[in-house]
Each structure stands twice: as structure tokens, then as C-alpha cells.
Amino acid sequence: MTAAGADAVAGLRVTRDGPVLRIGLDRADRRNAVDDAMTLGLIDAVETAGRDEQVRVILLTGAGEHFCAGADLVARNTAGGARPRVGSIQRRVPSLAHRLIPVLAGVQTPVVCRVQGYAAGLGMQLALAADFTVAATDATFWEPFAERGFTPDSGATWLLPRLVGVARARELLLLGRRLSGAEAAGWGLIHRAVPAAELDAEVETLVTRLAAGPTVTLGLTKWLLAAGATATLPEQLHHEAMALELSSRSEDFREGLAAFRERRPPGFTGR
């Protein structure tokens, strides 16, 4: 995806920086609340990255003081002025937030998410669906659904029990408990929390490492972890054999073996 193409979606900045696709939520005045056009733009950007041979890692960030305050419900409920037809939510959501989260979780390109300030609702689910989320220790993770009087969406009831267990998921979803970045890391909800002053350096170090990794192997391993959540042991062993067959045909596999023989660090190309 080109920067010019990204400019077509207000509120998004999408640029490719060498092997890194940087996707920025850019509505700081709205705490980066995501509207429908932005959701479709995010889906397109992530799917495009998954097909782009040059992209080896995706970085998702938010401009300003907050990562993302969730879906822009105000804009959605005031658009057009007319009351939507009955069933509008169940018709619309499957092609928007309920498509975005599986796309983000399923793309065979590592996804890193940088969180500062609030990550609420859909914003929190974006952070949970990423492979690695690094947050400021004073960031806030919050599921505001019960407080707003409606039920969770964007995969919250699927992601949370798998990441932190049912009891903690109830605490977050039914009681609306807010977690700091430090608490989220302590719960195993995210990869790491660091002081705000160290956030950029920590994120860039991780992005650089992933961008220099064996891209095919990383993507297949990500797929294996997802498949293993529902597969039986025989099914998963079959998946592992198939992934091993594919990864062992990559140039990076041959480079890894050569580096081992020559006792040097590997220089992976992502091929």
C-alpha cells in the first residue's frame, strides 16, 4: 500500500518503511476513535500487507495521547440523521469490526501494537489481537461495554477468556475493571509494559528484530498457534508437519543452517 492510497482514508496514516508497514490511527482530537471508513481502511491495509512480499512486520500505533478510544459511536449514530432500520447492527458489524479482528489476528505477518493512554473497547481488542503489544506502564486498558449499557463486541468475549481466563474476563467485562499497562502485562494480557519515556525505543527494537527474522517461519508459527487452539493433538501434529515442510523449503531455512555451521548470526531475508 502506498502513502497516497492511505491518504484516501481520513484518520489513517499508512506508510511502508522498508520491511515495516506502519499503520497509524490519526484522529487525536477524537482519541483515535475508529469510524467505519477507518475500519475498512485498516482491513485493507492489513490484508494488503499480508500479500506484500516486501512487508515483514506491521506496526499499529495511535497519534497523540491515546492509542484508541474504541469505535466512534457518536459519528455512527448521528450519520445521516435518520434512525437506522431494525437489524442494522447485525448487518453492518460482520463486515467491519468483526472482520477486522480476525484479519489482524490471522495475517501471516507479525503485528506489533504500541499503546499509550487509553485502549478501550475496539481499541483494546486491536491490542489483544496483535502478536506483540507493548504499552506504557501508565496506559489504561478498558472494556466500557457494561458501563455504556450494551454487550461486548469485536471479539472481546473470545479473546479475553483465552488470554486471562474466565474469572478475569468477567471482571473486565461485567465489572468494567480498568487495567494499567503494568497490570495488563502482569496478567499476561499483553507482551510488555515499559515507562512511557522508553516506549518508542522498546517498540522499535522489537519491530527491528521481527523485520530481520525468518518471515515465512514466523508467519507459519503464528498460524500454528492459532490452529492449535481448536485442533486435536493428531490434527495439530499434521499442521506442524505441513508447516515444517513449507518452512524447510525457504531460503531463510538454508541461511539458518549455514549460520549454524559457520557459527555466525543468520542474515535472514524473509524469503
Concatenated DSSP letters for 158-191? Answer: HHHHHHH-HHHHHHHHTS---EEHHHHHHTTSSS
Query: What does the pLDDT read at residue 9?
Result: 92
Distance of CA 136 to the CA centre of its chain: 16
Measured distance CA(116)–CA(228) in Å, rounded: 31
Query: What does the pLDDT read at residue 5?
Result: 52
Give the CATH superfamily of 3-211.
2-enoyl-CoA Hydratase; Chain A, domain 1 (3.90.226.10)
Q: Is the dihedral of CA 206, 209, 211, 217 positive or negative?
A: negative
Closest Cα partner for 156 from 139, 147, 143?
Answer: 143
Q: In what order do the strands lie in the sheet with 20-25?
A: 12-17, 20-25, 57-62, 111-115, 132-136, 192-194
Structure confidence by residue, pLDDT tens digits, 145-182: 999 898 999 999 999 999 999 999 999 999 999 999 99
User: What tens-digit pLDDT sequence spans the chain (271 residues)?
Assistant: 444 455 589 999 999 999 999 999 999 999 999 999 999 999 999 999 999 999 999 999 999 999 999 987 755 555 556 777 776 777 877 878 999 999 999 999 999 999 999 999 999 999 999 999 999 999 999 999 999 898 999 999 999 999 999 999 999 999 999 999 999 999 999 999 999 999 999 999 999 999 999 999 999 999 999 999 999 999 999 999 999 999 999 999 999 999 999 999 999 999 9
Cell of 203: 517498540
From residue 263, alpha-carbon distances to 126, 200, 232, 255 in Å are 39, 32, 38, 12
Measured distance CA(252)–CA(266) in Å, rounded: 8
> 45: exposed, middle or buried (C-beta count within 10 Å: 0-12, 13-18, 19+)?
buried
Measured distance CA(243)–CA(207) in Å, rounded: 24
Q: Where are the beta strands (DSSP E) in the chain?
A: 12-17, 20-25, 57-62, 111-115, 118-120, 132-136, 140-142, 179-180, 192-194
57-62 vs 20-25, strand pairing mode: parallel
Q: Beta-carbon neighbour count of residue 115 at 10 Å?
A: 30
Query: What does the pLDDT read at residue 105?
Result: 95
Q: Beta-carbon neighbour count of residue 98 at 10 Å?
A: 15
Q: Kindly list the domain boundaries of the chain, sorted by start residue.
A: 3-211, 215-262
DSSP 117: S
pTM, two decimals, is 0.90
